[in-house]
Structure 1
Amino acid sequence: MKIRSYTGSDKDRLESFLRRQVTFAAMNGQTIDAFCVENVADFEAGGTVSLLMETDDDVVAIADLLRRHPTDGSLWLGLFVVDERFHDNGIAQTLYEQLEQEQMLPHHSVFRRGVLPHNERAYRFWRRQGYTYEKESVTARGDRVHVLIKTIDP
């Protein structure tokens, strides 16, 4: 799989990908339109590293990284969405491992991630990746999240 930076010319492909993520949008308490608008705006705003994960010309996942959080200095994985067509077959695991090796470890050894408290599936996935519960927090949108942390020993 190829991981590359998002550019403005990818907007239509990003929107198409986001519109297929009905379950993820619903879990966030959003309509698919609101989910799409919010995430396209985040990808185009800058300040983070927005990434597309592709096979051939198909976007299979997206990620958004904040490489150095202004408060705690760690790398935050703000968004990691694997296309619902590819759930339950190991692709998310493979994509995350590649993302960590290529885009995260070269920049930091402490990673954080927020998970909605009711998203047990995501919580189990992140625990399998080596993340542990650190604390509760509230997002900029006002959502309560569990902050998970992973530290890689140098």
Structure 2
Amino acid sequence: MTGHSIKWCQLFSGRHNAAQYLLQNVPPSTAKEDKIVLGFHDETGLLVAICDLLRNYPSTGEWWIGLLMIDPKYRSAGLGTQILQDVVNMARAEEATALWVAPLEQNPNAQRFWERHGFVEQRTTHTTTRSGRTNTVVVRKKMTL
């Protein structure tokens, strides 16, 4: 990751080692080889979006989108849709059967984005961040790839 990328991750999470955590953290039952972190750059090379993926999670053949973070200056211009289409194409190429995501309940823009792209609510649950903050997330699943 570039210095800018690392600072962006630190700013996002409030932790010094956030970039390392993003690149290396996987659930206990997941192989490190199933972790994919994609960076998207503008024409100047500046990182403007990050997408964190897990193959074969929560089940074999399914993919989990752990994070899709886009610089606010690049939102509402189709970049999120383009990234999601790239992810769908990658998952489809590996014969994935579903995509999962769990956006924060208090983020209505994210909720609308995922709904608009065919992700259907499965359940609501609570998560705790590494900093101890509790969030409510809406777990969504997209079956048709």
Q: TM-score range by the shorter chain?
A: 0.7 to 0.9
Distance 1:80 1:121 in 2: 13
Q: Please state if 1:55 is matched with 2:30.
A: no
**Match of 2:127?**
139
Identity %: 19
**RCO (CA 8 Å, sep 6+): is it higher in 1 or 2?**
1
| 1:151 Cα deviation after fit | 0.7
* CA-based RMSD: 2.4
Matches within 5 A, 1:1-154: 10-18=1-9, 25=12, 33-34=14-15, 37-45=17-25, 47=32, 48-56=35-43, 57-69=45-57, 71-73=58-60, 74-101=62-89, 103-107=90-94, 108-139=96-127, 141=129, 142-152=134-144
| SS in structure 1 of the partner of residue 85 of structure 2 | helix
Stretch of structure 1 that moved more, 107-116 or 137-146:
137-146
Q: Contact (CA 8 Å) 1:114, 1:145: kept in 2 or not?
A: yes
| SS in structure 2 of the partner of residue 52 of structure 1 | strand
Stretches (4+) displaced over 6 A: none
TM-score using structure 1 length: 0.71
Q: How many residues align?
A: 131
Distance 2:8 2:87 in 1: 18
Distance 1:139 1:55 in 2: 32
Distance 2:4 2:124 in 1: 34
| SS in structure 2 of the partner of residue 139 of structure 1 | strand
Q: Contact (CA 8 Å) 1:65, 1:76: kept in 2 or not?
A: yes
| 1:11 Cα deviation after fit | 4.5
Gaps of 5+ in 2: 27-31
Richer in helix (by share):
1
The structure-2 alpha-carbon separation of the partners of 1:68 and 1:139, relative to structure 1 and needing over 3 Å to count, comes to farther
Q: Which amino acid aligns with 1:52?
A: G
